[in-house]
């Protein structure tokens, strides 16, 4: 009868067994991820294995599932990937450069675990590692920056900016010591911010204002200069154009006069008459409504106003131009 009851509840029994199994496995099995380093600490001491030379070394577990004893063995885990840490201490610390300038430099570090055994023993946690980095990097940075001039950090000549070299010097200054003493592998040290103390900033502002004022003046003066140049060029262009036109006009007028002169040949037949006719024509063209004529009574036809005008003259009022020319 009890055997039949057990068989009736095989599902419940299987479920209970599975739960117990999972619980037991959870106690003895652990996983190592690809992104972490794991040590098994037996009574606080890392489990070791034989090294290449036979000497014991701390056992680092590869990714996968592994076993450990429950209760007597505990796990130590730490991420094995590259981390970026910005120094939290000394963010407003003034660093003196070789040429007596005070600079404020914000620094970051790229680091990962280099020697897990040393790291676990000397550091163990990320917070402790960052504390160590704060001190070591600050010390190295202040040392190295003290050997460089401000012109090595900022310079209008790109070839004279030596920030990468300064960063490499800082890295070289502490890299080996950090790995040896703390198991921390530092991949890179870099600057994120470079500034001056607040009172220096105010001086910089004064200088910037003065420079901008000079630049504004330069721009306005350049504008006036360029405008004057353009105006002079324009005036010269206008003058050249008009001079050229005048020269051309003189040439054209001369051509006209030359052509007209050819017609003067006909006047050779009676030059005096020609002159007389030209005078008449000039007189006709020279008088307009604004002209005031003052004539005497000897001028024909006003000679008719004189006494005896009813007597016809023996000769005409005018002398024949030909006769006048001949003195007759």
Smaller CB separation from other proteins, 177 or 238: 238
97 contributes a contact to other proteins by CB under 8 A? no
221-280: which residues touch other proteins (CB under 8 A)? 222-224, 226-231, 233-235, 237-238, 241-242, 244-246, 248-253, 255-257, 259-261, 263-264, 266-267, 269-270, 273-274, 276-278, 280
The DSSP element (H or E) to which 29 belongs, if any, is strand 29-32
Please state whether beta strands 64-67 and 29-32 pair in parallel, antiparallel, or not at all (unpaired). Answer: antiparallel
4-63: which residues touch other proteins (CB under 8 A)? 11-12, 15, 31-35, 62-63
99 contributes a contact to other proteins by CB under 8 A? no
291 contributes a contact to other proteins by CB under 8 A? yes
* Number of residues assigned to the chain: 328
The DSSP element (H or E) to which 95 belongs, if any, is strand 94-96
Closest approach of Cβ 255 to other proteins, in Å? 6
298 contributes a contact to other proteins by CB under 8 A? yes
Look at the block and give the residue holding tokens 């117990």. 20
Whether residue 89 contacts residue 96, with contact meaning beta carbons closer than 8 Å, is answered with no
**44, 290, 312, 327: residue in contact with other proteins (rule CB under 8 A):** 290
**157, 310, 314, 326: residue in contact with other proteins (rule CB under 8 A):** 157
Stretch that binds other proteins, among 39-47, 81-89, 113-121, 168-176 (CB under 8 A): 81-89
100 contributes a contact to other proteins by CB under 8 A? no
Whether residue 196 contacts residue 103, with contact meaning beta carbons closer than 8 Å, is answered with yes
Whether residue 31 contacts residue 65, with contact meaning beta carbons closer than 8 Å, is answered with yes
297 contributes a contact to other proteins by CB under 8 A? yes
Smaller CB separation from other proteins, 55 or 284: 284
Number of residues lying near other proteins (CB under 8 A): 131
The mark string for 158-197 relative to other proteins (x by CB under 8 A, - otherwise) is x--x-xx----------------------xx-xxxxxxxx
C-alpha 72/C-alpha 184 separation (Å) is 28
**24, 28, 50, 65: residue in contact with other proteins (rule CB under 8 A):** 65
CA angle (35, 36, 41) in 5-degree steps: 165
Look at the block and give the residue holding tokens 């006009």. 249
C-alpha 293/C-alpha 283 separation (Å) is 11
Omega into 55 within 30° of 0, i.e. cis?
no
Smaller CB separation from other proteins, 49 or 198: 198
128 contributes a contact to other proteins by CB under 8 A? no
86 contributes a contact to other proteins by CB under 8 A? yes
C-alpha 301/C-alpha 315 separation (Å) is 15
- Distances in Å between the Cα of 135 and the Cα atoms of 95, 228, 326 are 14, 64, 131
Smaller CB separation from other proteins, 56 or 124: 124
76 contributes a contact to other proteins by CB under 8 A? no
Return the axis-axis angle of helices 163-182 and 126-145, rounded to nearest 10°. 140
């Amino acid at each position: 009868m009890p055997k039949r009851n057990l068989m009736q509840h095989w599902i419940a029994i299987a479920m209970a067994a599975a739960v117990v199994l999972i619980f037991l496995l959870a106690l003895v099995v652990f996983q190592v991820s690809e992104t972490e380093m794991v040590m098994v600490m037996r009574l606080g001491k890392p489990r070791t294995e034989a090294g290449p030379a036979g000497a014991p070394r701390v056992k680092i577990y590869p990714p996968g599932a592994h076993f450990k004893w429950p209760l007597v063995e505990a796990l130590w885990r730490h991420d094995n990937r590259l981390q970026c840490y910005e120094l939290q201490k000394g963010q407003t610390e003034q660093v003196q450069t070789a040429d007596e300038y005070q600079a404020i430099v914000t620094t970051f570090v790229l680091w990962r675990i280099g020697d897990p055994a040393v790291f676990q023993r000397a550091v163990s946690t990320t917070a402790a590692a960052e504390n160590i980095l704060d001190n070591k990097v600050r010390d190295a940075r202040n040392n190295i920056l003290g050997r460089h001039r401000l012109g090595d950090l900022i310079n209008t000549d790109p070839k004279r900016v030596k920030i990468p070299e300064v960063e490499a010097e800082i890295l070289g200054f502490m890299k080996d010591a950090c790995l040896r003493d703390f198991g921390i592998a530092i991949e890179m040290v870099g600057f994120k911010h470079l500034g001056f103390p607040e009172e220096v900033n105010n001086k910089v502002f004064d200088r910037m204002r003065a420079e901008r004022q000079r630049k504004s003046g330069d721009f306005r003066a350049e504008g006036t200069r360029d405008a004057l140049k353009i105006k002079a060029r324009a005036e010269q262009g206008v003058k050249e154009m008009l001079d050229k036109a005048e020269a051309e006009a003189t040439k054209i007028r001369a051509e006209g006069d030359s052509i007209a002169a050819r017609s003067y040949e006909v006047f050779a037949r009676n030059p005096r008459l020609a002159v007389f006719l030209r005078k008449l024509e000039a007189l006709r063209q020279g008088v307009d409504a604004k002209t005031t004529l003052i004539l005497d009574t000897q001028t024909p036809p006003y000679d008719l106003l004189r006494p005896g005008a009813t007597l016809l003259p023996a000769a005409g009022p005018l002398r024949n131009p030909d006769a006048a020319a001949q003195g007759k």
